[in-house]
Amino acid sequence: MESVAVVTGAARGIGAAIARRLSSDGCAVAVLDLDEEACRPVVAEIATGGRRALAVGADVANPDAVASAVEQITHRLGAPTILVNNAGVTRDNLLAKMTEEDWDTVMGVHLRGSFLMSREVQKYQVAAGWGRIVNLSSVSALGHRGQANYSAAKAGLQGFTKTLAIELGGFGVTVNAVAPGFVDTDMTRAAVARIGLNFDEVAAAAAAEIPVGRVGHPDDVAATVSYLCSTESGYVSGQVIYVAGGPKL
């Protein structure tokens, strides 16, 4: 039977790769991002493969928007049983220069957004007696200069993941987190550009420190998410998997 998956922050980058991968796995996919129009190219690409997809615009930090989005998805695609909380933003700065808005924006999208989306979708998962939630953390959860807000949010998602795994496991729902390392995305490129560095040089330096000898790509992350959303992963829950080309702990 076709599962309905919701992927947040899916208009581009890692989220888009996850949406495409879950579609190829046989899911109907709600491609959700702040701007509905930005989701349409991904939806069109999925549709050319003969799969069902829906573009949805919503601010994941807004409870009314989340409730409306999930209601729309349920009406048009079916009850969602897979949720990938990928939506994210960065507002990098050193602590002394970080504003309250920088802090609140990052916490709102990553933590509040994942909470609101999970709370809304879990009722359909519990009713079905089966579900998968995957939260996107980051190696920055281990600490990264200039990212006190982002690191705290990503570390928070790991605690959130482990708690939901305990609460929802008895209902057939697994909850895991994926923590990417250096991945070549628009967001990564923009972050490098903001500090005035050359991306290719930064990527080459990063690759030299990564055991597998290269930086990551969105499809690397999507492949791991695919497994965690599958029926075969039913005995894996409450885990944080670092997709970073080598050990990070």
**Active site (catalytic) residues:** 150
Which residues are 93's β-sheet partners? 147
Residue 192 CA to residue 213 CA, distance in Å, equals 20
Hey, how many other C-beta atoms are within 10 angstroms of the C-beta on 242?
20
Helix axes 13-24, 218-228, angle to 10 degrees: 50
Phi and psi at 57, nearest 5°, equal: -100, 125
Sequence-ordered strand ranges (E) for the chain = 4-8, 28-33, 53-57, 82-85, 131-136, 173-180, 240-243
Contact call for residues 81 and 128 (beta carbons, < 8 A):
yes
Q: What are phi and psi of 229, to 5 degrees?
A: -95, 0
d(CA 17, CA 85): 13
Nearest 10 degrees: Cα torsion 59, 65, 69, 72:
-150
How many Å apart are CA 105 and CA 93, to the nearest integer? Answer: 13
CB 31 within 8 A of CB 10: yes
DSSP three-state, residue 89: coil
The residue length of the chain stands at 249
